[in-house]
Every structure is written in C-alpha cells, then in structure tokens.
Structure 1
Amino acid sequence: MTIYKYKDTGLLRKLCSIHAPSGEESAMKDFLLAYISENQHRWKTRPEIIEGEDLHDCIMLRFGSPRTAVFAHMDSIGFTVRYHDQLVAIGGPDTDGPHLLVGEDPLGPVECCLRTTPEGHLFYDFPRAIETGTSLVYKCNFRVTKDYITSCYLDNRLGVYNALKLAETLEDGLIIFSTYEEHGGGSVPFLAKIMVEKYNVRQALISDITWITDGVVPGKGVVISLRDRNIPRKTYLQKILSAAVGSGLPHQLEVEGAGSSDGRELQQSPYAIDWCFIGAAEQNVHSPDEKVHRADIDSMIDMYKYLMKHL
C-alpha cells in the first residue's frame, strides 16, 4: 500500500473552502496571515512578512537572502450576480452541470443552483433575489481516497498549500501570494517591481495547477511546463530540467499552446525575469470536482523544496 508523504489534508480542505474569487481575496489573505503568525515559529527560517494597502490583498514572504521567487495565486473562478437571476462568470468556470453555488449577501447566506440555458446564458435558482454584485462560488465537497483528492478550487489552493509546505523548510527565497490571476491578472506587475527593485530577484517558479492531457498522466509526478500560450526562456528551462533530473524526483514535461499563469505577467513586465510553471496536473479542470493524484502532490512539494536550494 502506498503511503503518501504529505497527509495533512485538513489544511488543504480549509483552503479549498475559503470564499475568495478574483477581486475578493481578502478572506484568503486574512487566513494566510493568521496561519503564518501561528506556525512560523516552527519553520526553519522566520520570514519577513510584506503586506498592506500598497499590495492590496497580496502577501510576500522573504526568507534569508532570496535568489528565486515562488508565485501562488490565491483567487478562484466563480460568478457575479447581475440582474433578474442572471450570473456573469468570473474567469472560466465549468457551467455544464447543475452545480451548487454558495455566497452571502446582506440578507444572509445563499446556497443556490446554477442553471445554464442552451444558448449559454447563466442564471441562478433561489427563492429570492440575490443582491446585485454578490459573488458566488462552487460549494466545497472535499473528498480524499487512497490515491486522489477531489474538490473545487484545487486550482489554485493546492498551489498555495505547496507554498506553505515549502515555507516550513525554506532558508532563502521569496514566496508571493498573488491575486486576480483567474480573471486576467493585474497584481503581478507591482509585485514584480518589489521583487526586482527591492530584493534583486530575477527568476521565479509558478506554483499552480495544470491539466491532465494525452501527454500528462496522473500519478507520474509533478509537471514542468516547457510552454503554454507563453514561452519561457530556454536557458532557464534547461537549468531547471538539469536540477530536476539531479533531484531523482518523478516529473513529467508539458508542451501546450493554450493556458497561461502569473508567468505571463512576469514575461510581459518591464523587468528581465525568468519564470517556469511547475505544478501537479488535475482532471475536471475549473469544475466542482477537480481531481489530483496524491503522488503528484508529494512530487510537487518535494520538487519545489529541491529546486529552491539548487537554483
């Protein structure tokens, strides 16, 4: 029987249940700051915590003398209430099923059903009108089996979980919790400015979740993405691939022509920053039932710990 290394799924369960769609990440920020405050005394290196109104709801953690930054976006996909029972998507959520959605408006908690017309228009079914502008997210149904974890918002709460596990042993590095990623980004430019101008860090890893495809299979290790819609610099990729081989950890290579991440904004910034997307792959993307193999979670966390020492 396989015994997985990272068994504290309670933290991941909590992360997946936090209401934090793009633009509304304050609850996630508050949770992370409380978690860091409570646990940092157990970490190998106590970080400097950078947060405040200048960073909106983002958080930066500086450990020692950083050479590499790890980006993990805190936000999720979801829906915004419009008028007359209408919904507008936040990011690219799956709308095929009669999914349960939750949220809260001034009249109280909301649990309703998503309804999609044949023309693709989105509505909610609820006994009363929900206040315009209220955000709704998938109701969390977190499930753990011997080999898999299934839940909404593993993208990217698993990336956040990876960053928190990395923080336990990290000696030198930046961990950056970003916002807005699922709906076009926007926070990475000001984070990149601090990263480069204050800490002189010019290389990054993107702690995010990718897809199971015809070339990426569950249980075979973390995925190192050679490209998606954007193409990282080859010399940096070669450096990462050489270190990954030296680690002896299971990993897979990905080549895609679509999809993007915080890496896109780093590449488009006015700074010369190298980046690479490295993350576990999931099935049922952007649905309430995202599914990741537990071996790939172990591989992701161990690979980040290794790379942050060797890059």
Structure 2
Amino acid sequence: MKDFSLLKEMVGIHAPSGNEGAMTKFLLDYIEKNKKNWKVQPEIFSGDGFQDCIILKFGNPRTAIFAHTDSIGFTVKYGKELIKVGGPVTEDGFKLCGTDSKGYFETELVVLENEDEPTKYEYLLDREIDRGTDLSFLPNWREDERFIQSCYMDNRLGVWTALQVAETLENGVICFSTYEEHRGGSVGFLGKYIYENWSVKQALISDITWVTEGILHDKGVAISIRDSGIPRKSYVDRIRSLAKESGIAYQLEVESAGGSDGNQLQASPYPFDWCFIGAPEDHVHTPNEKVHKNDIAAMVDLYVYLMKHL
C-alpha cells in the first residue's frame, strides 16, 4: 500500500482559490528535490507568465494531465462576516484557520439563518480578523486500513496522483492549475501554451468526484462520460477501451452537474479532447472528505497506463 505522508502534508497547506502561492512553492521544492529519482527529468515552466501555475514537460508529449492546486474556503468581508470561496458546505461549528497581520488563528464557522433574509456566515473569535483574509478548513487527517478522510482531498489527491505518475512518466505534460474551485481562469493560458509549443491536444483531468447512487466506494476510479460539460464521445470511448484493456478497476459516471478544468479547456479556442478521471469521495466540500484506498490505487494505476497508451 502506498505511503500517504506526502498527501497528508499537502492537505494541510493553505491554498484557497486566488491564494495558491504556498502550494506552488511546496510543489516546486518537492519537484526539485525528487526529480533526480524520476525516470525522465522534466522541463519546468513556472513564474512570470504562469501566475501560480506549473507545467512539467516530459519527453515528447501527446497527452496532458491537469490537476488544480486550489481549494474552497472563505473570505473575511466586513466585521465578522464571511463569504464563500467556491462552494464549501456550511455547517455550524466547522473548524477554520488562517493567518492575518496578527498571526495564525483558529476559529469556528457560524451559520446565521433567517427566513426573511439570505443565510449569512460569520466566524467565532475573540478578536477581529483582518478584512480580506482567506480562511480554510482546519486539517484533521484520519486514516485506517480502507479509508482516508480529511479536508481538501479535492484536489490534493489529484495533485498527489499526478506526482505519482511523474515518477515513471516518459512522454507527457503535467499542468498544475489554479482557480478551479472559483470559476476557473488559468486553464486557458495553460492550454494555449502546451498546444502552441508542443501540439498537445489531449487532456486527462486529475480531480476528485462524488460518491452517488451510481458511483460507489471500492469499485474503482470513476471515468466521467459527462457532468455539466460533455467531452467528445470518440475520445472517451478510446479511454474506456484502454481502461478495459488494462484490467484496472473503474466505474462509469454520468452526471448533469459539476465541472472541472475540462470545462475550461472545452471553452478555450483550442481543439482539446478531455476526460475527467478521479476517485470518488463522500462528504464532498466538507472537512470530512472520504476516499477508499483501493480507488486511489486504481486512479494512479489508470493514469500511468493511459499516459503510456493514449
């Protein structure tokens, strides 16, 4: 079974949409330290012109993995009011944390419901937090023989999967994107760069999906036929054929809602094919996101297989 210490470290990194810098620094440090042990040394593209995104180019790429590094969270408005970053589930008493000019703090979410007004959110703390400070869920890692449960498996697990693939990847691109949880925005220029420089026009979206009546724990990684976006059927059919050929456990997802970096690629002016492939989790967008270890293993194995054969 895989060692998940790296994943445990990553779920504790504060990186809500728009403030991914700490995650970017962590990834660049990790890549620099570990790339010497990888089968192929990638070219690394980051910094000016890439905002907080990172592109890794291996060999002669045909296919790109996109994994978003940001998370959901909250922003301090005025006084003690909070507004959402992305779509976090809001439950009274959820533990939150952040850092402002006065230092690190931990607090609780307060949900204020009024029949005649929209629901409002506040924090519970004996001092005022600086206006504009972003907050994230307080990490609480739980692991047993079958499951991992923590905040931000979406999408630290997608990022972790991409790093596992990087160890043996010979030809391919890995794009670590930003802003995905809050309307996207970076995938357009990442897609432009890899298409115009290396003619890459196939993508796999390394992200985490939902446990539903049709997608269950311990049944394999989910291959999404559609969500709010509809990828090109001929491309998804190729992936399904390769998945069947691989013998790796997978399940087929069909949804009408939800979205990912794939939707942003489809909206770009470049002819990208894309498919969302990810392990399913329960308790989505809460501090208690729960994923089965067998589904994680299937996710890594399928990505490795697809990057070789697509």
What TM-score do the two structures reach when normalised by structure 1? Answer: 0.98
Instruction: Choose which of 15, 21, 30 in structure 1 pairs with 2:25.
Output: 30
Indicate the residue corresponding to 2:42 in structure 1: 47
Q: Does 1:86 align with 2:81?
A: yes
**What is the one-letter code of the residue matched to 1:25?**
E
Indicate the residue corresponding to 2:199 in structure 1: 200
* SS of alignment partner, residue 54 of structure 1: coil
* Contact 2:91-2:109 within 8 A present in 1 as well: no
- The CA distance in 2 between the partners of 1:105 and 1:43, in whole Å, is 38
Indicate the residue corresponding to 1:166 in structure 2: 165
Describe the superposition over 1:36-87 as per-residue Cα deviations: whole angstroms up to 9, x where unpaired: 0000000000000001120000000000000000000000000000111000
Q: Does 1:73 align with 2:68?
A: yes
What is the CA distance between 1:225 and its match in structure 2? Answer: 0.2
What is the CA distance between 1:154 and its match in structure 2? Answer: 0.1
Q: Does 1:110 align with 2:108?
A: no
- The CA distance in 2 between the partners of 1:258 and 1:96, in whole Å, is 22
- The CA distance in 2 between the partners of 1:52 and 1:9, in whole Å, is 28
* SS of alignment partner, residue 228 of structure 2: coil
User: After the TM superposition, which residues 157-236 of structure 1 pair with which residues of structure 2 at under 5 Å, given as runs?
Assistant: 157-236=156-235
- The CA distance in 2 between the partners of 1:152 and 1:299, in whole Å, is 21
What is the CA distance between 1:112 and its match in structure 2? Answer: 0.6
**What is the one-letter code of the residue matched to 2:126?**
P
- The CA distance in 2 between the partners of 1:61 and 1:108, in whole Å, is 34
Describe the superposition over 1:68-114 as per-residue Cα deviations: whole angstroms up to 9, x where unpaired: 00000000000000111000000000102311100010011111110
Describe the superposition over 1:109-129 as per-residue Cα deviations: whole angstroms up to 9, x where unpaired: 111110001132100010000
User: After the TM superposition, which residues 234-249 of structure 1 pair with which residues of structure 2 at under 5 Å, given as runs?
Assistant: 234-249=233-248
**What is the one-letter code of the residue matched to 1:75?**
D
- The CA distance in 2 between the partners of 1:267 and 1:283, in whole Å, is 27
State the number of aligned residues: 306
- The CA distance in 2 between the partners of 1:115 and 1:87, in whole Å, is 9
**What is the one-letter code of the residue matched to 2:221?**
V
- The CA distance in 2 between the partners of 1:76 and 1:53, in whole Å, is 22
Q: Does 1:261 align with 2:260?
A: yes
Describe the superposition over 1:166-190 as per-residue Cα deviations: whole angstroms up to 9, x where unpaired: 0000000000000000000000010
> RMSD in angstroms over aligned alpha carbons?
0.6
- The CA distance in 2 between the partners of 1:169 and 1:161, in whole Å, is 14
* SS of alignment partner, residue 306 of structure 1: helix
**What is the one-letter code of the residue matched to 1:260?**
G
**What is the one-letter code of the residue matched to 2:132?**
G
- The CA distance in 1 between the partners of 2:59 and 2:92, in whole Å, is 47
- The CA distance in 2 between the partners of 1:113 and 1:234, in whole Å, is 45
- The CA distance in 2 between the partners of 1:215 and 1:104, in whole Å, is 40
What TM-score do the two structures reach when normalised by structure 2? Answer: 0.98
Ranges in structure 1 where 5+ consecutive residues have no aligned partner: none
Structure 1 segments (4+ residues) deviating >2 Å:
none
- Report the identity percentage: 55
